[in-house]
Chains A and B, each alone.
Chain A
Amino acid sequence: MVIETVHLGKRYGNLQALADLNLSIEPGKVFGFIGPNGAGKSTTMLILSTLLEQSEGEAFVCGYNVRKDPASVRQSVGYMPDFFGVYDNLTAVEYLEFYAGAYKIPASKRRALVGDLLELVNLSHKADAFVDSLSRGMQQRLGLARCLVHDPAVLILDEPASGLDPRARIELREIMKQLREMGKTIIISSHVLPELAELCDDIGVIEKGRLIAYGSVHEVSNRDTGQSRMQLRALRNLDKAGLLLASSPYVHQLTEYMGGYRFYFQGTEQQKAELLQELLDEQVAVVYYGDSKKDLEDVFLAITEGVGME
C-alpha cells in the first residue's frame, strides 16, 4: 500500500473535521476524493503531505509515518494545494529550478529536468515568461510540474481543476492520464463526481468528515439500490413511449425532460435492453436511450443526502 490511514481523525476545537478515516491505496492507482465544501478533503490531504498534524490515528505514505518521518514523506509526495501563489519576478524556468534546488537536486541536472517538465505540461513556449503573467490554467499546469520536480511516487492534488475553463480541464485531465501511465499514485479531490469518473480507479465520497462510500467508480455509482437514472429521447410516437414506460415495472419516477423522458430504472442490463426492444417494436423513433448525463451527480447527491443529520 502506498497510502494507508488508520482511524485518522482531526479536530479543530469542537469541530470534528475528519473522523475515523481508513484508506488504503495501492501503487499506481488513481484515487478520487469527492465531497462537498467543508467535507474534510483538504484536511486529509494536508495531513498526508505533512502540513497538518492529525489529532487521532496514523497515516503512512510509502511506508513512512507522516508524523514521525516527515522528511521521507515529503520526498515521496508531490502536493498541490487548492490555492497557491507564485513568486513574482521569476520566470517559469527559474520557478521550477528554485523548487528543484529546494529538493536538493544537483544544479547540473536541473536544466534538463525543468525542460522535460515544461514539455510534459505543455508550457515549453512559456519557459521564459514571468510566472505571475501566466493565466490561471497555465499556473495550475506549472504547479503540477512543480509537484513533479523530485519525481515523487505519490501526487496529492487538491482540486486541481477548480477555477479552470472546460478546455483547461480537459488539458489537465490529459496530463493526469500521462502521469497515471508513468505509474504515479495519484490522489485527487473534487466537488463533483463526473470530473473524476473517467480518470479514477477508485473513489471515496466524504461528507462531514466521514467516508461514506468507497470503491470503484462503478461500485459507488450503482451502490445499494442498483438503480440508475436513464433518459430517453425520441422523434416520433413519444406518447406511446410514455405509456409503455409508465406501465413497465422497472421504471420509477417518470418525468418529461427535454423532448423525452427521464426515469429511474431498477433492473439488470438485460432488462434494460428488453425495454428498448419493446420501445422499438412500438415504432418509437428512439434517438437516445441511456444513462442520464446527470447520473453521477445524482448519485453523489443521493449518497451525501442526510449524512451528519443523525
Chain B
Amino acid sequence: MSDFLFNPLLVKEMRDRFRSRKTMLILAVYLFVMGGIPMGFLLMDPLKAESLGDNRDLFLISAGIHYAMVCFVAPALTAGAISGERERQTLHILLTTQLSTRTIILSKLITSLAFSTLLLVASMPLYSIVMLYGSVSPEQMAQLVLFLAVNMFFLGSLGLFCSTWIKRTSISTVTTYGIAFFFVVGTGLLFFFIGESLQQTYPEQYVNSNVWSMYELQMLAGTNPIIVLSDILGESFDQSDDITFAPWLFFSCVYVVLSFVLVIWSAYLLKPIRRKWWSWKKRPVRVQ
C-alpha cells in the first residue's frame, strides 16, 4: 500500500495537479459559479426573514448547479490522462518501466479524484447558507454528498476508460461527454419512453399507470442521476413516485460497481501484451 502511495507517478501527478496556477484558477471559477448563482437568486428574490428555514428553492438550485458542475468538470479531469501521455509520446517509456498498468491507471484516477474531492469539500461552506434558508435535513445533505462523490468517481473512471481506449484526447473527451450524456439524460428518456409505450401498447394490462411500478422500470429509474437527485432533494416525478427501494443506495451501488469495471478494463486495455481470454479468430500456432 505505501508502495503504491509513494509511486513516482502518483507523486508527480499530484504535484502537477495541485501546484499549478491553473488549479487555483479552476477552483476560484468553480467556487465563484457555485456561490454566485444562488447569491444571484437571493438578490433577485430576497427572502423574508420569516421564511428562514422554510424555503427549499435555494437548496434545489445549489444542488442542481453543483451536480452540473460535477458533470462538467469530472470527465475533463481524466479524459486526457492516458491519451495525453500517448500524444506527448511518453506512454511507451512509461509502459516499459516496472509500473504496472493498474498502478498507472489508479494513479491517474486518484489524482483526479483528489482534485474533485477538493472541489466538493471547498464548496461545502456554501451549503451553510443554504441550510440557513432551507429546510434541509443532515440526512439529505449526506445523501447529496454521497451522490456527488459517486458521480465524480464514475465520470472520472469513464474519462479514464475513454482516454485509454481512444488514441486522441480530443475524440476521447467528446466521447466521454457523449457517454455521460447518455447516462444523465438518455437513461431518463428511456425510462419514460419505455414506460409510456408499454402503457400505450397494452392498456388493459397496465391500468392506472401501474406500469411504473414494474421492477425493471424502477431499476432503470434508479440508474438515472436526475431522477435519483430529485428523489434525494424530495422532489420526485410522478412516474418515479413509487420506487420501492432507496434510489440513492441503488444508484450508488450500481455506479460504484460500474466504475470498478471501467477501471479494471482500462488497466487491461493499457497492457501492451494482453492475455487472451477470448479470441475471435483462431491464430496459427507455430510448433517447432
Contacts and interface: CB of A to CB of B under 8 A. Distances in A.
A complexed with B: yes
A74 B98 contact: yes
Contact of B89 (A50, A66, A81): A81
A84 B94 CA distance: 11
Contacts of B95: 51
Nearest to A7: B286
A133 B7 CA distance: 26
A56 B272 contact: no
A71 B272 contact: no
Contacts of B9: 98, 102
B201 interface: no
| Residue in B90, B98, B284 with the greatest tally of chain A CB atoms within 10 Å | B98
Given A6-B288, A57-B286, A77 B7 contact: no
Interface stretch (A85-93, A198-206, A268-276, A288-296): A85-93
A104 B12 CA distance: 15
Given A74-B98, A87-B12, A102-B8, A53 B274 contact: yes
A12 interface: no
Interface in B42-58: none
Contacts of A86: 90
Nearest to B283: A55
B93 A81 contact: yes
Contact of A85 (B8, B89, B286): B89
B97 A52 contact: no
B96 A51 contact: yes
A50 B98 CA distance: 12
> Chain B contact residues: over half helix, strand or loop, or mixed?
loop
B285 to A, nearest CB: 9
A87 B95 CA distance: 15
| Residue in A55, A70, A102 with the greatest tally of chain B CB atoms within 10 Å | A102
A85 B90 contact: yes
A146 to B, nearest CB: 7
A295 to B, nearest CB: 36
| Residue in B93, B96, B274, B284 with the greatest tally of chain A CB atoms within 10 Å | B96
A79 B94 CA distance: 11
Contact of A56 (B12, B89, B93, B284): B284
Contacts of B274: 53
A89 B16 contact: yes
A29 interface: no
A178 interface: no
Given A56-B286, A102-B97, A103-B97, A51 B16 contact: no
Nearest to A107: B6
Interface string A83-114: 11111011000000111111110000000000
A49 interface: yes
A37 interface: no
Contacts of A223: none
B22 to A, nearest CB: 12
B88 A101 contact: no
B273 interface: yes
Nearest to B89: A85
Nearest to B19: A89
Interface string A182-210: 00000000000000000000000000000
A169 interface: no
Contacts of B282: none
Nearest to A74: B96
A177 interface: no
B118 interface: no
Nearest to B3: A104
B10 to A, nearest CB: 10
A67 interface: yes
B97 A51 contact: no
A87 B12 CA distance: 10
B98 A103 contact: yes
A27 B11 CA distance: 37
A75 interface: yes
Nearest to B88: A85
Nearest to A54: B273
B98 A75 contact: yes
A77 B11 CA distance: 25
A44 B58 CA distance: 63
A272 B121 CA distance: 85
B288 A51 contact: no
Contacts of B7: 101-102
B93 A84 contact: yes
A52 B97 CA distance: 15
Contact of B12 (A57, A67, A81, A98): A98
A129 B88 CA distance: 19
17 contacts: A7-B286, A53-B273, A53-B274, A66-B273, A67-B273, A70-B272, A70-B273, A74-B97, A79-B96, A85-B88, A90-B12, A97-B8, A98-B8, A100-B8, A102-B7, A103-B98, A150-B98
Interface of A: 6-7, 49-53, 55-57, 66-67, 70-71, 74-75, 77, 79, 81, 83-87, 89-90, 97-104, 146, 150
Given A51-B95, A70-B273, A71-B98, 12 more contacts: A50-B96, A51-B92, A51-B272, A52-B273, A53-B273, A79-B96, A81-B89, A81-B92, A90-B12, A101-B8, A102-B99, A103-B98
Closest 9 CB pairs of A and B: A101-B8, A102-B97, A85-B89, A85-B88, A53-B273, A51-B272, A85-B90, A98-B8, A79-B96
